[in-house]
Chains A and B, each alone.
Chain A
Amino acid sequence: MSTLQPSLQREPLRYRVRAFLAKPANLILLFFLTALIVLSLMPMVTMLTNMFTVHAGTEKKMLRLKVGSWTMSHFQMLFADPEWSRANFWTPLLNSLIVAAGSGLLGILIGGTVAWFITRSDLKCKKFISAVFVFPYMMPAWTLALFWINMFQNSRVGGGVVGLVESLFGVCMPEWFVFGLFPMIVVIGLHYSPFAYLLIGGILKNMDATLEESATILKARRMTIIRRITVPIVMPAILSTFLLIFSSGFASYTVPVFLGSATRTFTLSTKMRALIQAGYEGQGYIMAFLSILLGTLILGINQHFTGKRKSFTTVTGKSGQVSLVKLKKANGFISALLIVLTLFFAIMPLVSFALESVIIQPGNYSLSNMTLNFWIGTEDSAFETGMPAGILVNGTMWWGLIRQVGLAVAVALVVGTCGMLIGYACVRRRGTWLSRAVENLAFFPYLMPAMAFGTIYLAVATSASFKWLYGSFFLLGLVAAVKFLPFASRSGVNSMMQIAPEIEEAATIFGVPWVTRMRRILFPIQKSAIISGYLLPVINVMREVALFTLLVPYPRYLLTTMLFSFNETGYAQYGSAVTLLIIVIIISINSLVNKLTGASFDKGIGG
């Protein structure tokens, strides 16, 4: 019956357009394509032009050119002079690379080891360890850096202020341990190790146990199995995690600021900020651009590996009965060690911030040196330290807190919903260029340094057509939404990938409208993953500083920007109190949502 007549012409264009638009997924993709080009690509273009134009401030003062005129002098200055170039570009670049690579390795070492113990051994207190182990990821990274300094500063390094370790045990750590590259690597590595734990743990949990069991039957020894079977199978995940931590570590700003100032250890991001602050904005933007290029490269490598990973890990759903490795005598020791370590890095910061917020004189932890004035002091007792009142009885603080939480919730609602929609549309139209474009555009803001992002949006918001945006809550929300979309859309894609298209089609057959399909079918099925997708932006906004500093109408507008101005102006105790407050709020939100819905932020990353 097969006919040999030539196939008919394609459908006329207008019908194809109509058919194209009839699919909600296509409409969503078109919408986000437009929105993301405006919101995420345009800033990039602005940044590119900023590399070649004269800015107000030092540049104008020096070059005597009109603001906005074209120039190549930023490039000349950054690269032509070897001494300048080394101090402001090459050394910071090298430091950034060392920190990024070091923290990537450390994060994987710690996260991967814990993941293995939790999923593959009969370790004790697993529940506790896995619950507390993710704390450092919920805390802003700089809190760990501050904690590190509070712990280890001593009379022999820096300014000779006595930290907790010295005052309790009389031990003085050497300078390289307290400041510089080493603590940066440790702090960033620790901060992201839960990330490695979740990703690698997820693979280990889903890995078909028979792969290891068949090796056991072939009489392979346990270590051989880990080395020859387990590690190679999780290798793509490890690499991809490494690259994610690498790029986060590379872009990290707050940690190097805290830990690098004393030893003059600049990274690309701190140097970028310093140059912008000194008025060499053009050079700052060149550096921002180069770090975006590097980020894109890493993203490309990562996609290469995750592409492979999919074919590697077989999720059969039959791996329920994993034979757990018996740790025997070592069990008690390893459990104890892990508990101590997790407590140290998860609970101790809280204790440390609590302590720092009540002592009057730094380094003196005796009861007589303590006061609750920084929390609940009234005007008279607190004024001496420059603030009208303790933070809990201070209207400014409460407003900052309310705005921060409000912003977090608003951004989460928008970002979570957008992430879910993008996830839905990209998965449904997988393989089309439109889907690829939207997925990549949505990930793009991840690569933009928060500082550069804030600067660009400030310029946009003060331009003639957008001035109504300036200083508004809406602007903060918009910027945060774009900046935090990457993880939400990634988790959206991941969760939608797990739903077979037939689940939706079965409803389509009955004529269930799209909105109802989303509401009654897709959302309830992936409830936990989707709520997790909403939770992650909440946490991100709650701890973000760099993105907001330029855009808030005044520094005490938000809790985090207030905190940074405390740190700048030296209200150390208020700073500690607010930090503690932020961490406690984040952890409470996470556990509350977890209790109510079973979702948890870590599911948003693990995917």
Chain B
Amino acid sequence: MPQIILEHISKRFEKFTAVEDLNLEISDRGFVTLLGPSGCGKTTTLRMIAGLETPTSGRILIDGTPVYDSDRGINLPPNRRDIGFLFQNYALWPHMTVEQNISFGLEMLKWDRTRIRARVQEMLELLKIEQFGKRYPSELSGGQQQRVAIARTLAPSPRVLFMDEPLSNLDAKLRGEMRTELKRLHSETNSTFVYVTHDQLEAMTLSTKVCLMETGVLQQYAPPLEIYNRPANQFVASFVGNPTMNFIPAWAEQKDPKTLQVRMLDTAVTFEADAPFTLPEQEIIAGIRPEFLPIREGGALKASIYSTLPAGMETTVKAHCRGTLLTSVVFGSVDYAVDEEVFLDITGNSIVLFGGTDHRTFASGRMRFGEK
């Protein structure tokens, strides 16, 4: 049961810290995404688990076996960790054909010839690249190269598969297709997938659990929807979701354990939380996803249109409301004239409140206009 556990993992380079005291538990057959902006330490983390990078301190267990332990001096090489690794730039060997690329690793694992041939064939079929077997990587398109890279990685049936931004070099359409493929492969291969990406949509759509990092520090480790609806802090909230969540400065006063009287955008609003909480400070920030700020007649917030971005299925509207630029998503294709006057409403039950100075989430719930 390939369960991966990271305990107090840190990685320091000469002058800066890439990963700081990271604790993580990746369960068997999960599809875990390491998400974060570039330079947040997610790739370093992945490489440390794979054994390509040596942590400075801490402990890593795969399947209950310590593969790295700074106190006991354990550091297993990658090939003894039973893993596969898919690189961002594919790292196909340019001087070998597709078949050779796939079989090389198996030869190194001392498989016998017939078994290798069968496995190569199986892989070519699984990834639908049978016709390219004799070609060299340079004769393939980016998507095909990606498939070869996946085939090569999957060939020895690793129980854990690490992927480092594997789709970032593909165009939007191919990326979509490959996402589907990866999800299918995950269920077909029965392996644990650890996936690094900076694309929040990819993380949301693919994974069973997302590990969001920033500057080497873990921000939140939770299933995608929880990340989306209950972000641990303002950073998480802003990183996940497109268009980005609206952050509106507000001033709050606690009425009872679950209710706040809020003043924002020169408007009085009442907030009702899902659970009891204590207001940390009176300066707060209200986080409202664009889909919870619909444009509708009777909305209490008067705003003037700044720009309209119709995308077919939905339309993103940006509008000025009392000096603050707000984003709203409207279903369907709507077009507004610039400076046109509209009214915004607040709906939904996942409005999040952050502390004004620590930017941590302290409550989530509903909002309505007016006082209690």
Contacts and interface: CB of A to CB of B under 8 A. Distances in A.
Query: Touching in the complex, A and B, CB below 8 A?
Result: yes
Interface of A: 1-3, 5, 7-12, 14-15, 18-19, 22, 431-432, 500, 502-503, 505-512, 516, 520-521, 524-525
A506 B91 contact: yes
Contact of A19 (B8, B52, B75, B109): B75
Given A5-B21, A525-B95, A509 B70 contact: no
Given A502-B87, A506-B91, A525-B95, A7 B54 contact: no
Query: Which are the 4 A-B pairs with shortest beta-carbon distances?
Result: A511-B79, A15-B73, A510-B105, A502-B91
Contacts of B108: 507, 510-512, 516
B231 interface: no
B78 interface: yes
18 contacts: A1-B23, A7-B21, A8-B21, A8-B57, A10-B56, A10-B57, A11-B73, A12-B71, A18-B73, A502-B88, A502-B91, A503-B93, A506-B93, A508-B78, A508-B79, A510-B79, A512-B105, A512-B108
A500 B164 CA distance: 14
B21 A11 contact: no
A516 B110 CA distance: 14
Contacts of B247: none
B84 A8 contact: no
B291 interface: no
Interface stretch (B116-124, B181-189, B215-223, B280-288): B215-223
A502 B95 CA distance: 15
Nearest to B21: A7
B57 A503 contact: no
Interface residues of B, number: 43
A2 B73 contact: no
B104 interface: yes
Contact of A7 (B8, B50, B71, B156): B8
Nearest to B106: A510
B57 A1 contact: no
B21 A525 contact: no
Nearest to A18: B73
A91 to B, nearest CB: 48
A7 B57 contact: yes
A517 B52 CA distance: 15
Given A1-B220, A509-B50, A511-B80, 4 more contacts: A1-B218, A1-B232, A505-B85, A511-B108
Contacts of B14: 431-432
A376 B260 CA distance: 109
B77 interface: yes
A516 B107 CA distance: 12
B10 interface: yes
A2 B87 contact: no
B208 interface: no
A61 to B, nearest CB: 56
A9 B52 CA distance: 22
Contact of A15 (B8, B70, B104): B70
Nearest to B221: A1
B330 interface: no
A516 B80 CA distance: 17
Given A7-B20, A10-B57, A521-B93, A506 B87 contact: yes
Interface in B179-233: 217-221, 232
Contacts of A19: 54, 75
Given A15-B73, A506-B85, A2 B80 contact: no
Interface in B30-72: 50, 52, 54, 56-58, 70-71
B281 to A, nearest CB: 20
Nearest to A17: B73
Contacts of B218: 1-2
B83 interface: yes
Given A11-B70, A510-B108, A524 B8 contact: no
B103 to A, nearest CB: 11
A376 B108 CA distance: 58
Nearest to B80: A511
Contacts of A524: 95
Contacts of A22: 75, 77
A511 B54 CA distance: 17
B71 to A, nearest CB: 7
Contact of B21 (A3, A508, A509, A516): A3
Q: Which of A10, A15, A500 has the most chain B CB atoms inside 10 A of its CB?
A: A15
B306 to A, nearest CB: 32
A349 B127 CA distance: 61
Contacts of B50: 509
B348 interface: no
A3 B91 CA distance: 36
Contacts of B83: 509
A507 B156 CA distance: 13
Contacts of B8: 7-8
A510 B95 CA distance: 18
B25 to A, nearest CB: 11
Nearest to A523: B95
Contacts of B104: 507, 510, 512, 520
Contacts of B156: 510
Contacts of A14: 73
Contact of A505 (B20, B56, B87, B217): B87
Contacts of B220: 1
B56 A509 contact: no
B94 A525 contact: yes
A424 B251 CA distance: 60
